[in-house]
Structure 1
Amino acid sequence: MTEFVKAALLVVVAEMGDKTQLLAMAMASKYKVKEVMIGVLVATIFNHALAVAVGNYLSSLIPMSTIKIVAAISFLIFGLWTLRGDKLDDEDEKKTKFGPIVTVAIAFFLAEMGDKTQLMTIAISANSHHPAFILMGTTVGMLIADGIGIIGGAWMCKHIPEAYIKWVAGIIFIFFGTLTIYNSVPSVLLSTMYVILYILVLGILIYIFGVKLSYQGQACNIASPDKNILKDNNK
């Protein structure tokens, strides 16, 4: 049960400002919330089932100590990725000839391929003995995060600066990554010199991704009232 909760919380954090959350907000401007959420559910189950299978396969080939180091580095990457944010391209919003649910499911499945949420699912699955809980947790987390994006996107943009949301989510990942590294690396690498070097390099990377390369205003542009995101969606 702990792994279920952990997986759900990490996905919620990872999805804040992520490409698929932006896609959910964009889709909700065209289709009903119920249709979008069903499409997200279908896509997430298939996509994350694939990720969990890959993660469990890797755990049978790679020593657990190595997996922990890789997972820690992955969390740091996810944190920097979150600080930078994602940009939703015009082609991500293109309609298909299918109905709303199938259209959303296809769009989300493709958008999630190689996305940080899928990669994170692979990482935590490789470090878990209960793949079913990981799949359920990441699926629930995705629904919660995209539900927040669809229903609460406009409200959050009015009351909470988008940058704050990205920074809190990014720092959470970086904290987990740093904690995992601390608990996994040999003690010889925990000397003062290495710790200072780590903090210096990490600080530079945070500045580059969080300031210089960051996408600004993408989520709030999509969630703006003139987009009519919630139009007819609560019917």
Structure 2
Amino acid sequence: MMEAFLVSTGIVALAEIGDKTQLLALLLAAKFRKPVPIVFGILVATLVNHALAGAIGNWLMTLISPHSLRWILGISFIAMAGWMLIPDTLNDETARFSERLGVFGATFIAFFLAEMGDKTQIATVALAAKYHAYWWVIAGTTLGVMLANAPVIWIGDKAAKALPIKLVHRIAAGVFAILGVSALVGIGS
């Protein structure tokens, strides 16, 4: 259980650095300058999004044989490794939201939508399927998102620019590749 939590936290925290949702967190912080409702909006959006993704991962476990699942997970993790090396951008559509919803509501909706189909959401599906530890994976992936985004909200642009994003993405890609190869050869199954 602890392995599921720690791997989920680490891999998602690394994957989130330089991600479009981290850019969105920075934009929200600059626009609203109210860190508390932004942090809570991101937390709730991530919990809901990753809970759904984890449920899909658990559901896939029931449909797919362990042998097939091992191959699907291995290939998925290796694909995630490659995806980590592609820089993210934030399009203007994601950054637009209604100010009528307030800071929390606007953050929740913008962040929830930005996470749809994002690397960390796909990773959550795969990690939930791999570890059979739904709550530990959701707690870990959510903590990973918060570890990467909360400092950006509180400290802002300086913290985001100080990180060697390419190196962090390469490390995350390496971790995903190791998870993929270990799944393919049956380590940890």
Q: What TM-score, normalized by structure 2, do the two folds share?
A: 0.88
Partners of 1:58 and 1:169 in 2: CA distance: 24
In structure 2, list runs of 5 or more residues that go unmatched.
Answer: none
Partner Cα separation in structure 1 for residue 107 and residue 76 of structure 2: 28
CA separation of 1:177 and 1:148: change in aligned 2, threshold 3 A: farther
Task: Provide the C-alpha distance between the structure 2 equivalents of 1:71 and 1:122, rounded to a whole number of angstroms.
Answer: 10
Segments of 5+ residues of structure 1 without an aligned counterpart are 185-235
SS at match of 1:127: helix
C-alpha displacement of 1:62: 0.4
Structure with more helix by fraction: 2
After TM superposition, the runs of 4+ consecutive aligned structure 1 residues lying more than 6 A away are none
Q: Which residue of 2 aligns with 1:70?
A: 72
Higher alpha-carbon deviation: 67-76 or 167-176: 167-176
1:6 counterpart = 2:7: yes
Q: Answer whether contact 1:14 1:78 (CA < 8 A) is retained.
A: no
Identity %: 39
1:140 matched residue in structure 2: 143
Q: Which amino acid counterpart does residue 154 of structure 1 have in structure 2?
A: K
Moved more, 143-152 or 14-23: 143-152
Tell which has more relative contact order, 1 or 2 (C-alpha 8 A, sep 6+). 2
CA distance in 2, matches of 1:103, 1:156: 22
**2:94 equivalent among 92, 98, 103:** 92
1:206 aligns with: none
Q: Which residue of 1 aligns with 2:132?
A: 129
Q: Deviations over 1:123-159 (max 9, x none)?
A: 111122221111111111111111244336523524x
CA distance in 2, matches of 1:4, 1:114: 21
Q: Give the Cα–Cα distance (whole angstroms) in 2 for the partners of residues 87 and 117 of structure 1.
A: 15
Output the CA distance in 2 between the equivalents of 1:47 and 1:17: 19
Aligned counterparts of 2:182 and 2:131: Cα–Cα separation in 1: 17
The C-alpha deviation readout for 1:58-78, integer Å capped at 9, x for no partner, is: 101101222122122112222
Q: Is the 8 A contact 1:44 1:142 kept in 2?
A: yes
Aligned residues: 183
Q: Which residue of 2 aligns with 1:79?
A: 81
- Read off the aligned partner of 2:24 and give its amino acid letter: L
Which amino acid in 2 is paired with 1:122?
V
CA–CA distance in structure 2, aligned partners of residues 74 and 83 of structure 1 = 15
Corresponding letter in the other structure for 1:113: M
- Alignment partners' CA distance in 2, 1:152 and 1:5: 26
- What residue is the counterpart of 1:57 in the other structure? 59
- Residues 64 and 127, structure 1, Cα contact 8 Å, conserved in 2: no
Matching residue of 1:163:
166
Distance in structure 1 (CA, Å) of the matches to 2:121 and 2:76: 12
CA distances 1:73-97 after superposition (whole Å, capped 9, x unpaired): 1122222211112110112111312
Letter of the structure 1 residue corresponding to residue 75 of structure 2: I
Q: Alpha-carbon deviation of 1:24?
A: 1.0
Which of structures 1 and 2 has the bigger CA Rg? 1
RMSD over equivalenced CA pairs, Å: 1.8
Q: Using a 3 Å threshold, how does the CA distance of structure 1 residues 39 and 2 change in structure 2: closer, same or farther? A: same
